[in-house]
Amino acid sequence: MPIQGKHPTFRVVEENPPNGGASIETLVEQPITPVDRFFVRSHAPTPIIDAASYWLTVEGAVKKPLMLTLADLVHFPRVSLTAVLQCAGNRRVEMQEIAPIPDELIWDREAVSSGKWSGYSLAAVLRTAGVDESAADRLHVAFEGLDQIEKQGAFFPYGSSIPLSKALDPLVMLADTLNDAPLTPDHGYPLRLFVPGYIGARSVKWVARIIVQDAPSENYYQARAYKLFPPNIQPEDADWEQGLMLGELSVNSAIATPQDRAIVPPGEVLIKGYAISGGRGVARVDVSTDAGVTWKQAALLGDDLPYAWRLWEYRADLREGDYHIMARAWDTAANTQPEQIIWNFKGYMNNACPRIRLQVKG
């Protein structure tokens, strides 16, 4: 089934499974991404779920396993939060310029969106199931969706996990709305996990099973995919146990406009982009028009919401010539972005300073 209800400027990266995102110019037009521009990242076709016959189980290392319908869930406290969802593969296209990244979707800067999420508190559900909170540093909470992944002829559900310590964070939710409307099928209707501050892969859509266990999920998308390897490791050399299991997002930013290699008239040039911190808050965005020799500060727009992105703009006064524009975001712990891309064979977590070239010509 093709992606449903998206804006005409939505760039379909793959029809089925549905994958795509807004054009970068339209993405930064508003602080909350409208659902019709919100990126979609799915590893299998969208399952169509009848809400009336849907239920969720909570199993594993809990005193009281649960089986919950949507009607049962309404008794749990609700949580709302404005936050970004960012795929670990966002900005892969720049990494691919260094060396090929086979078998992965080549995302530009659009595999991120900012939404207003609301749903049921995961911590409250886990407490009702009698999870052992004193073991929060040892236990993991695994999730499975209702979609069916096919690999080498075998079918299995998409799955992932987070540490119990994160699952008990009061902002982690079983979301049923995005931007005050029920989730659309492609975004996880009727219920999905939303884990603020973590890579999108952990926010399991169409979630149907929650399993408390003493190790991370063995699902392909936790044990194999979404692991970070050093640049000297090629897929054939990878020891999958050794890869860094990705979770928390790093500080990142992108330049949205002007486009790379644009030709613009002399005078004021408006440079716009987004910055994300993964939960600490964006403290500052610097912009350079001379390839990183000197830097000035961009204006941060909108509200300071630590899990959301911060849109920014910088007005540069440019005479005729060639310019190499860079940006770098800082979070409130003074973490910033590396100047150079650190390649990895899966093309994850590109948070290098974004760059564009501009020609200013009268």
**Is residue 191 at the binding interface for ligand MTE, with CB under 6 A as the rule?**
no
Rule CB under 6 A: which of 11-40 touch ligand MTE? 39-40
Place of tokens 């236990």: 139
Residue 148 beta carbon to ligand MTE: minimum distance, rounded to whole angstroms:
10
Residue 163 beta carbon to ligand MTE: minimum distance, rounded to whole angstroms:
18
Identify the residue among 94, 110, 147, 331 touching ligand MTE (CB under 6 A).
147
- Tell me whether residue 41 or residue 328 sits nearer to ligand MTE (CB atom): 41
Of the ranges 129-137, 202-210, 236-244, 340-348, which one interacts with ligand MTE (CB under 6 A)? 202-210
Identify the residue among 41, 140, 227, 272 touching ligand MTE (CB under 6 A).
41
Place of tokens 């200013």: 360
- Tell me whether residue 201 or residue 327 sits nearer to ligand MTE (CB atom): 201
Q: Kindly list the distances between the CA atom of residue 269 and the CA atoms of 54, 109, 252, 257, 311, in Å, as whole numbers in the listed order.
A: 52, 21, 23, 10, 17
What is the Cα–Cα distance from 103 to 248, expressed in whole angstroms? 24
- The CA radius of gyration of the chain, in Å to the nearest whole number, is 21
Identify whether the C-beta of residue 139 lies closer than 8 Å to the C-beta of residue 132: yes
- Tell me whether residue 18 or residue 258 sits nearer to ligand MTE (CB atom): 18
**Is residue 112 at the binding interface for ligand MTE, with CB under 6 A as the rule?**
no
The encoded tokens of residue 207 equal: 């979630």
**Is residue 346 at the binding interface for ligand MTE, with CB under 6 A as the rule?**
no
**Is residue 205 at the binding interface for ligand MTE, with CB under 6 A as the rule?**
yes
**Is residue 323 at the binding interface for ligand MTE, with CB under 6 A as the rule?**
no
What is the Cα–Cα distance from 278 to 280, expressed in whole angstroms? 6
- Tell me whether residue 187 or residue 280 sits nearer to ligand MTE (CB atom): 187
Place of tokens 């859509």: 205
Examine residue 190 and say whether the peptide bond preceding it is cis (omega within 30 degrees of 0).
yes
Residue 173 beta carbon to ligand MTE: minimum distance, rounded to whole angstroms:
14
Identify the residue among 60, 185, 200, 258 touching ligand MTE (CB under 6 A).
200
**Is residue 142 at the binding interface for ligand MTE, with CB under 6 A as the rule?**
no
**Is residue 161 at the binding interface for ligand MTE, with CB under 6 A as the rule?**
no
Rule CB under 6 A: which of 228-267 touch ligand MTE? none
Task: Please name which of 277, 286, 282 lies closest in space to residue 250, comparing C-alpha atoms.
Answer: 277
Give the bridge partners for 360, in sequence order.
264, 321
Hey, CA dihedral for 123, 127, 131, 133, is it positive or negative?
Answer: positive
- Tell me whether residue 85 or residue 356 sits nearer to ligand MTE (CB atom): 85
Rule CB under 6 A: which of 53-92 touch ligand MTE? 85, 87
What is the Cα–Cα distance from 196 to 39, expressed in whole angstroms? 16
What is the Cα–Cα distance from 351 to 84, expressed in whole angstroms? 15
**Is residue 42 at the binding interface for ligand MTE, with CB under 6 A as the rule?**
yes
Question: For the purposes of burial, counting CB atoms within 10 Å of the CB of 155, is it exposed (0-12), middle (13-18) or buried (19 or more)?
Answer: exposed
- Tell me whether residue 156 or residue 295 sits nearer to ligand MTE (CB atom): 156
Pairing of the two strands 310-318 and 78-86: unpaired
Point out which residues bind ligand MTE (CB under 6 A).
39-44, 85, 87, 145, 147, 158, 187-188, 200-201, 203-206
